[in-house]
Every structure is written in C-alpha cells, then in structure tokens.
C-alpha cells in the first residue's frame, strides 16, 4: 500500500482502537458517579415557553444516560497524537513513529482548539450533572466561543497573513481584518449547530462524515498532517458511534460538541487560502445537515415572534420535529447519516473541482 495512504489510515485505525479500549473505562466512571442530568427536560424552549413535546420524547433518557461521552472522542485523538509523536521523539522515525502527524504548520492549531473546547465543555458537563446543576450559562458559553473565533481570526490574519476567502476558480474575496468577524460568526454558527446532538448516534455519524470530507480536502491540498489529524478524529468518532448506536451508552454533550465545532472552525480555515483550497466555500455543502439544524431553530423563533406564538415545526431543531410526527429515532438518525454522506460527497467535489 502507498505510504501516503498508510499515513492517513494508521492514525484513523489507531484512534478507533484506542476509543474502543477507552470506552469501558469511561463508561464505568460515568455510571459509577451517575454523570447524568438530575432533572430531565429543557424547561424553556426557543423563544420562551415550555417544551412539552421534547420532554415527552426525551425526559426519561436524560435522567439515566450519562453525559460526557465526548471524552472518548477527544481523548482518543489526543492519545493517538501523543503516541505517534512520542515514538518519533524517541527516535523511531522509520517505523511506527513515522506516522506521527503533529506539526507546527498544520496540526498544532486544530489540536489546541480541540483541547480548549473539550476543557470548557467538560466544565459545563460537570456542573450540569451535579445536584441542582445547571451548567455554564449559555450566554457565557457564547461569549467564550465568540472570543475563540475572534482570536483564531486574529491569528490567521496577523500571524499567518491570511486576508481573503477562496472563491470559485482562482478568485478570492478580500476581507482583510474583517477575517476576525468571519471566524467569529463561523465559530458561533458551528457551535449553534451542536444541538444536532439530540438523538442516539446522530451527531457522531454526521460529524464523522464532515471530518472525513475535510480529511479528503486537506489531502487534495497536500496538507498530509492535517488530513491524518482529520481521519484520526473520524476514527475516534466511529469508536464513539459504536457505543452510541441506539440505545446509547452515553451522550456526547458539551465536552464533545465544543471540541469538535471549535476544531472544525480551525480546519475549515486551514483548508482555505492558507492551504490553497476552498474550505470555507465547501462548508455549507459538506455540513448542510448542520445548516438546516440551525436554520430550523431560527425559523421557529422568528415564526413564534412574528406569528403570535405559532410554530412551523412541532419541535425545533428539525430532527426532533421528525420524531414528534412519528418517525422512530433510529430512522431519523439513519436518514441523516445517508443525507450527510451525500452532502459530504458533493461538498468535497465542489472543493476539489471548482
């Protein structure tokens, strides 16, 4: 097999194996300390008011299924990265250590984003599962995400001299220091899409296809270390998904969602003009399931505000609407997987071909 293909395959397989091995330990810990919400339901929904439909569908599961399953994802990626880096640092540069993909030019930034998001999300999850816990206020989390986006934008603009977004053909949209606003909005939009973590197996499958697509895009850009990092995340997500297929052993929740969305923010920019690709242009297509998730929330809120409380969907976001009208959760999940694969395929072709 071609050495470049192995460079991508081995980290993915390693992250998967580590994730499978790590899960029993994480599961034992989470169930031992009853790391789930002590009170089910949302309380208040989008735009105010109660959430009787959501509570009817999810109340029981929320108070007996642990949170913090995202530890398996970012923990597997971190251990995989350290494993190969450690072997290379010890002098094994021709054997297994040759598969190390930690590099200053390509993977330091996304790995830092992964760990930062994981830490903030973990704090929120711990506070949520405490007696009478409510987690970090949403407003505070949004401020942190916005600050993260602005800092990322500043770093790319000031340190990496990125001032444009790639467009169709060889053209680019010059944004200058406005890149800070672009990255802030990007980080907030991706974090908002994290509400797709609402049905067993849904978020894991959707994010696996998205990171897989960006792994292919990075590979096309000859960003081989970044591609390997993306595929390591895919391997970790597949390990998580193995235990998250209905009925889920645990939920991903904030420590997983914040880690993945912040990392994706950085990867999208890394595969744009910096890498000679079209990472930003491809995002709305590759991640279209996330787009419709956010859009359905916005439509629901606007409808309730402008139409005297009338709703467009039984529940927002859209995947819960499908549950409410009678689709079994597994059918919603699997149809989202199929749709997500199609979007990732089309978006990758767009990024490579335009």
pLDDT of residue 42: 64
Q: Which phi-psi region, left, alpha or beta, contains residue 253 (left: φ > 0; alpha: ψ -120 to 50)?
A: left
Do the domain assignments include residue 328?
no
Do the domain assignments include residue 263?
yes
**Peptide bond before residue 317 is cis, with ω within 30 degrees of 0:** yes
Do the domain assignments include residue 78?
yes
Find the domain containing 84 and state its range. 3-39+52-280
Mean pLDDT by 10 residues, the chain (354 residues): 83 98 96 87 57 62 86 98 95 86 96 98 96 92 98 97 93 96 98 93 97 97 97 98 91 97 98 95 97 95 91 92 92 96 96 84
pLDDT of residue 3: 77
Structure tokens at 77: 């990626």
Q: Which phi-psi region, left, alpha or beta, contains residue 311 (left: φ > 0; alpha: ψ -120 to 50)?
A: beta
- Longest C-alpha distance within the chain, in Å? 68
Do the domain assignments include residue 299?
no
Residue 268 sits at φ, ψ, to 5 deg, of -60, -45
Residue 166, H or E segment = strand 164-166
How many domains, in total, are found in the chain? 1
Do the domain assignments include residue 47?
no
- Length of the chain counted residue by residue: 354
Do the domain assignments include residue 336?
no
pLDDT of residue 95: 84
Residue 109's SS3 state is helix
Do the domain assignments include residue 335?
no
Rounded to two decimals, the pTM is 0.95
CA angle, residues 251, 257, 259, in degrees to nearest 5: 125
Helix 279-286 vs helix 179-192: crossing angle, to nearest 10: 20
Do the domain assignments include residue 350?
no
Alpha helices in 168-317 (DSSP H): 179-192, 202-220, 224-244, 253-270, 279-286, 288-306
């Amino acid at each position: 097999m071609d050495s470049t293909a192995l460079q991508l395959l081995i980290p993915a397989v390693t992250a998967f194996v580590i994730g499978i091995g790590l899960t029993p330990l994480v599961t034992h810990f989470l169930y031992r300390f009853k790391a789930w919400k002590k009170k089910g339901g949302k309380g208040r929904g989008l735009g105010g008011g109660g959430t009787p439909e959501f509570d009817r569908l999810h109340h029981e599961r929320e108070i007996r299924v642990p949170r913090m399953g995202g530890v398996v994802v970012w923990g597997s990626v971190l251990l995989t990265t350290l494993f190969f880096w450690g072997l290379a640092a010890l002098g094994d540069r021709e054997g297994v250590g040759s598969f190390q993909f930690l590099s200053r030019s390509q993977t330091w930034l996304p790995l830092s984003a992964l760990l930062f998001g994981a830490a903030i999300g973990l704090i929120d999850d711990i506070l949520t599962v405490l007696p009478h816990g409510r987690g970090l206020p949403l407003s505070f989390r949004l401020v942190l995400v916005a600050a993260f986006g602005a800092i990322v934008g500043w770093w790319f603009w000031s340190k990496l001299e990125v001032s444009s977004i790639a467009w169709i053909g060889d053209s680019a949209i010059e944004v200058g220091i406005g890149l800070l606003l672009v990255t802030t909005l990007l980080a907030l939009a991706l974090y908002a899409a994290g509400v797709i973590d609402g049905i067993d197996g849904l978020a894991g499958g959707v994010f696996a296809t998205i990171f897989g697509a960006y792994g292919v895009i990075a590979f096309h850009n000859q960003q081989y270390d970044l591609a390997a990092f993306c595929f390591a995340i895919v391997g970790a997500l597949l390990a998580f998904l193995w235990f998250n297929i209905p009925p889920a052993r645990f939920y991903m929740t904030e420590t997983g969602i914040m880690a993945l969305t912040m990392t994706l923010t950085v990867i999208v920019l890394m595969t744009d003009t910096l890498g000679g690709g079209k990472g930003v242009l491809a995002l709305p297509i590759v991640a279209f399931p996330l787009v419709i998730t956010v859009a359905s929330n916005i439509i629901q809120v606007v409808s309730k505000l402008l139409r005297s409380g009338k709703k467009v969907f039984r529940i927002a976001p859209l995947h819960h609407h499908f549950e409410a009208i009678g689709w079994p959760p597994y059918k919603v999940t699997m149809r989202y997987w199929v749709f997500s694969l199609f979007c990732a395929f089309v978006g990758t072709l767009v990024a490579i071909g335009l």
